[in-house]
Amino acid sequence: MTPTPPRRRGWRIAVAVLGTLVLLGAGAYIALLRAFPPERLAALLADEVRAVTGRDFRIGGALSIRLLPAIAVVAEDVALGNAAWGSRKEMATVKRAAFALALAPLLDGRLHVLSVDVDGADVLLETDDRGHANWIFEQRAAREPRPQAEDAAAPPPVRLDRVTLSDSRFAFRVGLTKATHAVDIESLQAVSQGEQTAVSVRFGGRHGWRLDGKTGRYEALARGGADWPFDLQLATDGARLAATGTLDAAGTLHAKVSARIERAAALAPLLDAAALPMPIEANATLERTATAVAANGLRASIGGQELSGRLTVHTRPGGPRIEADLAAPTIDLPRWGLAPAAAAAAPGAA
């Protein structure tokens, strides 16, 4: 009898081991699905979110889970409840949400999110007439006492590689004025590239606004460490705005901003600028703290008229207070539409 060559015997052993592992993995997966069917997992997840946020949470559609080669979860018809005083029942609804987690880092207590894909999100951010925000949750579970060692332990690091968003709407409603402003997003993509994240957003509407640029990684902002950098450009036909600077976890912002607007129609989604003379150019250093927003070194040209100085908006519970220190060689009020009709009709009324 001819003996089997060692190399062939090695391959047979490898195939047998691989087949055994596949069978064990399939058996474990089937056992997991039987112990935790999608309906039970959806209920457990809803209970956990409700305990942490104090809000109702539901997955009304299909829920699917895949374990290999990465943990992938897909959920349809997802809804998160609004605050009790909210103007509608749900704060956010999503037609379809999917995310994938790398399996190996979980064994070391690390969370590596490979991708998050959201389609058909409808999010309403709103405040009531007292300034309470619906994105501030009650966090009931966080109020329960925990062992001191657990409180001192740092949360496990989170790595986020890619986020995509499509066919979604974000709205903001101010309780005092009852005014709602909405932004439609056709597509959004944020992809980590080393220590930076490339961002590309396409907004809905006939004006076709688009946002492109780079920021620091999400993890750096969440940790609240060094200043989080950004370099972004918002543009459409006839208008371009740019901002380059840093932001920290406390909301302190320092940035150089610039704007060039040639067509008033481009600003229609943001404000009524039909009466403003074109073109408009502006440059400033913007600084935002917890109590004020300041535009320092402001230089602007509106319809050919020069303006310079600084502008500060102080935010406080009793209402904002505005301070301005501005100078201009001349101000043509009729040209800005601010003079009485008779003065505007007079020749050379500057």
pLDDT at residue 11, as a whole number: 57
Q: Which two tokens stand for residue 251?
A: 């909301």
The pLDDT score that the predictor gives to residue 152 is 47
Q: Is the separation of the CB atoms in 82 and 71 below 8 Å?
A: no
Q: Which pTM value belongs to this model?
A: 0.75
pLDDT score of 44: 74
Q: What is the pLDDT of residue 162?
A: 96
Q: What is the pLDDT of residues 71-83, one digit of tens each?
A: 888 999 999 999 9
What's the pLDDT score for residue 212?
A: 98
pLDDT of residue 148: 47
For residue 150, the model assigns a pLDDT of 47
Domain boundaries, the chain: 34-193
Q: How far is CA 217 from CA 109, 168, 231, 282, in A?
A: 20, 23, 13, 29
Residue closest to 284 by CA, chosen among 242, 250, 313, 321:
242
pLDDT < 70 stretches in the chain = 1-38, 41, 138-157, 222, 224-226, 249, 268-275, 317-318, 335-350
CB 91 within 8 A of CB 124: yes
